Structures are given as structure tokens and as C-alpha cells.
Chains A and B, each alone.
Chain A
């Protein structure tokens, strides 16, 4: 683990997460990135900033989130004890708010009046619109047209909060294209604008910033489990698109060699099909969206269209630290298909009375597979990254159920 610690320190000291990361972004944005980097490193350990962040997390976002013992699932699966880290219970219904509060505070300290963001499933957009409303800032959200169609409820929610939602009609009209559009907008207007990056992706320092603000998930779960069981978990499971909830769920365990870290990617129609978003299993090293990481791409370096039922995992790349964790063998990454995640959506609803986001259900589906193979004295902590209200209509459609929206 010392090797990884060294890598992590390198990230802090400079630019790279191992051989991944870096800054590959138009010159127009470099001065702004320098400002963001400086603000982040100046403020993150500043007592006043930390107090402000803590106050908002506790009194606005409803932290700490519960670490819930899933008794019925544990009994039904007959293996390891299953705990769920309930990020779905945060204000706005997902882990995204943790990072948005942190970045919006950075924006405020930089004197910015306007927040822009990309969003896939809409959770990050909703969180950004929410904080923009709270802080009295302007807000514009970029969302692929494909996603505005399958996540209509979240589009309306963002508009209700006062944000302007731009449907992005370039490329495959999903998360990747929304990031392209948001980067273009930031390059056009950065003077008064902060780009709230939603996932642990993009040019340095964004992956580090997102990890920092999401690491509250693992800091809490570690303390909560210690209080309940007086031990570390044997395994931590989280879904991975760009990888923000996963890196936050892993962060405080990365230096604990006994804890297995498992990231669950969206395999779409299957890891070995063309309709997949399983970047770590199927991707190769490339440079895109400001970072060197793993991408689904062709041999000429053109980025491939990707597919998943989940708008939040439908991304051709992955955060550079996940690529590094996979390479060093410190975390393991597995694929879960659309069918498996939809089954898990129904399973956790019926077993635990929790309607979880389809993204999170990829992690649940893996827990269903792995828990029975583990001993009863072993413990899994699985992050429920978001709630599933937004997915009810599209899952009904997937199942062929006709409901009146």
C-alpha cells in the first residue's frame, strides 16, 4: 500500500495520479484552472472554509448519511453482512450534493456569479441548480438530448430551481457530449463562471477536488461501521461511471490492505458487446476530456459511442485515479448488465423498501452475486449513490409496463 500512498501524494503534489491524469485542455482554460487549483489548495484545509462546508453538509444536505444494515438482503443472500451507505437520503437525493457544495464554495471564494455543469442522469444538474438557488447564483446545465428525454423529471426539477437546461444535440447526445458542451461554454465565458465538474474526471485538479469533497462518504462509513461492528468492512462496493461516488466510497479505505474495493461498471447489453460502458474492462489508454485515462475508443483514438440503461454511467471514460487503482490492483472493477441492474432495482425495492437509482442498482446487483460467496462474519459496505424516483418511469417502460406519466 505504500506504493499507492506515494502515488496519492504525487497527485497532491502535482498533476498525475500514477501514469493517469494530467491537464489536456485548451489554453483558453488554463489560467482559470490555475485559479481553481490555487483556490482549492489554499482553502481545503482552511478552518473557516471547513466550518462553512461542514455547516452546509450537516444543516442543508442532511449529513451524515445513514449506514443502514440491510437485514433482509443479508438474510436472503445468506452470506456476508450487508450495510448500505445511504447517499440517496441526502438532500437532492444523491451523493452529488457533497461535491457541489464544496465546489460552489470555491466558486463563491473566487467571486464567481454563475455556475455551469454537465449532467448525465440529472442528479448532478439538480444538485448544482439547488446550490445555485441557495447561493443566489445563475445556473446553466448541459445535458445530452438523449438524457433530457429519459430523465424528464430531473429536467423539470432543474428548471423549477431556476436553472436553464441546454439539451445537447451533438455526438451521441449523452453525458460525454454534455461535458464537451460545458467545456466549450466555460472556454467562452470563464470570467464570472465556475464549471462545477460532477464526476472525478477532467483535467487536474478536478479529479482531486471531486475526490476530496466526496471522501466524506468513506470517512463517515468507516466511523459508523466501527461504532456498530468495531471493525473495518471486508469489501466496499460502489458503481462507477466517471467514478465520483466510487472514489468517495473508496478514499478512506485505499490504505487499508484488508478492505477489497470493487467498482461496478455499466456493462449495458454485455461487457463483450458494442453496447457497453465498461471502460476499465474494455477501454484503452487515451487522452480526452482533459485527462489521460482509460477510454472506449477505436484504434485511431476516436471516442466510441457507449451505451447503458443508466444515464449516469453512460460515459466512455473513467476518472484517472480509478484507472490507476485498477492498474496497481488496489481496486477491482466488474461489469453489470442492464438486465442485472433492473433485476436489482426490483430486488432492493421488495427486500428493503428502498427505490434506489438505477446507477446504484449496478452495485446492488454485484452485491447479490458476491455476498452469498462470503462468510457470515464478513461485511460489505455498498454505497447507494442515489434514489430511484427519477428511474421509475423508464424502468416501467423497460419492463413493458404502461404507466401514465
Chain B
């Protein structure tokens, strides 16, 4: 297991997301460093996939830009290695399972360990399918970060009990992308999870403004922002690092001001 859980101990965590190699290698490295400087607690790096079924148009487009830049799985590790020379911010990957499967579960997890990647979020790997990667991840000290959604219901207990690192709480049904309305039962959902585990929770999917981040950080132990940052990268391209550092600082301030206390 990694030290990811400790990050949530004394304050609310902010976890921003960028897609690797969007729009190019150097900008992604700078973006990761900018997110760290802006106050990210964990940076989530997306490995591009040809058919990202859990992602909306913003992240789909980012994946296409990364493919246009010629991204390979190895490129993503090299980006992390390059960023690692300037920051020790904890990093987790968001990846579809086939990318890991083709690389080889053992090889992939060892490579993560080598690059200092602490956890994996795999949106198309439900609880039932995690056993095939778990030995490799455990061996390498990598957390498999589970997702719990508003439809998880009776599944929450087994997922929560087996969780390590943190739990990705999906704010709404469907796919990633900016939203103004969320599942209304998020407080109950988080409370339900906390019945079964002390592993921290972070809410993601659709969160895109500092105010929303503040609200979500009040409900859970942390908040994840993806599409809003990827959108900045799309608009600013090579100038993105400066813009996302500014955005990250504003979210950091908002998250720190959230009042929700850990139950």
C-alpha cells in the first residue's frame, strides 16, 4: 500500500487531472509541476485510450490530441519521470484496463513503482475483476483506487472494505464532463461508505468551479477536478501551465475554506 491515505489526514485534498501528452510531452511535464505548485495534493494523470467509455467529449478530445502527439504507454511513464525531477507530488494514473493488460500487470505495476506512481484508477475494472491485477499492485505497493457511484447500493460495503489509498466517489451518473447538478444523495453516499472504512473519499465527475469544489470538499475528504483543467489545456495549449496553476490556487483556497469535518 502507498501513503496516499495519509495525504487526507489533516486537511481536505484537491486532486486535479490532466491527460498525458496533451498537447505534447513538455507541456504535460510543466502542467504536472504547475498543479503541484498551485497546491494539488495528488495529481491524477490520464493515460489516453482509443475508446474511453467513461469519459465525455472534453477528455475524449484530449486523448485524440495526445494520439496526434504520438503518445505511447511508455511516453506516459517518461512524462512522469521527467516531472519527478522537479516535484515529489503524489501521482496516480487514470487508465482503462486494456492498456495495463497489454503492458502486463506485473511489468506495469513495477514501472509505476519505479516512476513513483502511487495508485491506479481503472474505470472499466469493477470490484469483481480486480483480483487479476491485485497481486501485481500489492507487490509493487500500488493502491487500486475503487470507484463508488450513486448506483452502487448494496455493493458499497464490499468495495469500501477492500479499498486502499482513497475512494473515488462518482458525483453523478454517466460520463465525465462539467456539470451544474449532482446526485442529491452525495452526503448519504459518503456517510454510507464511512460505515465500512476509514479510507478517505474524494468526489469527482463534473466538478469544475472552486465553489463546487468547496461544497464537495465539505461532503467528502477531497475533490477531483478533471474536465475543467483539461479544458484549460485545450484552450491555452503550450501556455496552459501558467493558467492551470492560477486555477489550481483558486481551487486550493476554496477547498481549504470548506467547513465539512471528518466524521
Contact surface of A with B, Cβ cutoff 8 Å: 15, 22-32, 170-171, 176-177, 180, 183-184, 187-190, 286-290, 295, 297, 299-304
Is the CB–CB distance between A301 and B53 below 8 Å? no
A321 CB to nearest chain B CB (Å): 18
- The 8 Å CB contact of A286, one of B101, B148, B170, B174, is B101
Please give me the residue from chain B that is nearest to A203 by CB atom.
B126
Known A-B contacts A180-B53, A287-B101; the reply to A24 vs B129 at CB < 8 A is yes
Residues of B contacting A180 with CB < 8 Å? 51, 53
Is the CB–CB distance between A183 and B97 below 8 Å? no
Please name 6 further chain A to chain B contacts, defined as beta carbons within 8 Å, in addition to the given A15-B128, A300-B73, sorted by A numbering. Answer: A26-B53, A27-B147, A27-B151, A27-B155, A290-B124, A300-B102
B90 CB to nearest chain A CB (Å): 23
Residues of A contacting B182 with CB < 8 Å? none
Is the CB–CB distance between A183 and B53 below 8 Å? yes
B46 CB to nearest chain A CB (Å): 14
B60 at the A interface (CB under 8 A) = yes
- Whole-angstrom CA separation of A25 from B67 in the bound complex: 23
B59 CB to nearest chain A CB (Å): 12
Is the CB–CB distance between B173 and A188 below 8 Å? yes
Residues of B contacting A286 with CB < 8 Å? 98, 101-102
Is the CB–CB distance between B60 and A26 below 8 Å? no
- The 8 Å CB contact of A23, one of B126, B147, B150, is B126
Is the CB–CB distance between A171 and B50 below 8 Å? yes
Could you tell me which residues of chain B, from 23 to 54, have a CB within 8 Å of some CB in chain A? Answer: 49-51, 53-54
- Whole-angstrom CA separation of A26 from B155 in the bound complex: 13
Residues of B contacting A288 with CB < 8 Å? 51, 98
Residues of B contacting A189 with CB < 8 Å? 173-174
A291 CB to nearest chain B CB (Å): 11
Is the CB–CB distance between A27 and B129 below 8 Å? no
Is the CB–CB distance between A184 and B175 below 8 Å? yes
Residues of B contacting A25 with CB < 8 Å? 124, 126
Residues of B contacting A32 with CB < 8 Å? 151
Is the CB–CB distance between A287 and B174 below 8 Å? no
B146 at the A interface (CB under 8 A) = yes
Please give me the residue from chain B that is nearest to A27 by CB atom.
B147
Chain B 99-132 interface 0/1 with A at a Cβ cutoff of 8 Å (1 = within): 1111100000000000000000001111111000
Residues of B contacting A188 with CB < 8 Å? 173-175
- Whole-angstrom CA separation of A274 from B39 in the bound complex: 46
B149 at the A interface (CB under 8 A) = yes
A181 CB to nearest chain B CB (Å): 9
- The 8 Å CB contact of A30, one of B72, B103, B126, B175, is B126
Please give me the residue from chain A that is nearest to B95 by CB atom.
A301
A317 CB to nearest chain B CB (Å): 11
- Whole-angstrom CA separation of A289 from B51 in the bound complex: 9
Majority secondary structure, A binding face: mixed
- Whole-angstrom CA separation of A374 from B174 in the bound complex: 53
B91 CB to nearest chain A CB (Å): 20
Is the CB–CB distance between A24 and B174 below 8 Å? no
Residues of A contacting B253 with CB < 8 Å? none
Q: Which of B101, B150, B170 has the most chain A CB within a 10 Å cutoff?
A: B101
Is the CB–CB distance between A297 and B124 below 8 Å? no
A274 CB to nearest chain B CB (Å): 15
Please give me the residue from chain B that is nearest to A295 by CB atom.
B98
Is the CB–CB distance between A287 and B98 below 8 Å? yes
Could you tell me which residues of chain B, from 150 to 203, have a CB within 8 Å of some CB in chain A? Answer: 150-155, 159, 170, 173-175
Residues of A contacting B159 with CB < 8 Å? 27
Residues of A contacting B72 with CB < 8 Å? 300
Residues of B contacting A26 with CB < 8 Å? 53-54, 123-124, 126, 147, 149
- The 8 Å CB contact of A184, one of B53, B97, B98, B170, is B53
- Whole-angstrom CA separation of A327 from B53 in the bound complex: 28
B191 CB to nearest chain A CB (Å): 19
- Whole-angstrom CA separation of A26 from B97 in the bound complex: 11
Residues of B contacting A29 with CB < 8 Å? 151
Is the CB–CB distance between B97 and A31 below 8 Å? no
- Whole-angstrom CA separation of A170 from B175 in the bound complex: 14
- Whole-angstrom CA separation of A31 from B101 in the bound complex: 25
- The 8 Å CB contact of B129, one of A23, A28, A187, A303, is A23
Residues of A contacting B54 with CB < 8 Å? 26, 184, 187
Q: Which of A170, A287, A300 has the most chain B CB within a 10 Å cutoff?
A: A300
Is the CB–CB distance between A27 and B49 below 8 Å? no
Please give me the residue from chain B that is nearest to A303 by CB atom.
B50
B121 CB to nearest chain A CB (Å): 11
Residues of A contacting B153 with CB < 8 Å? 31
B166 CB to nearest chain A CB (Å): 15
Please give me the residue from chain A that is nearest to B61 by CB atom.
A170
A188 CB to nearest chain B CB (Å): 3
- Whole-angstrom CA separation of A227 from B123 in the bound complex: 52
Is the CB–CB distance between A28 and B51 below 8 Å? no
A23 CB to nearest chain B CB (Å): 5
B99 CB to nearest chain A CB (Å): 5
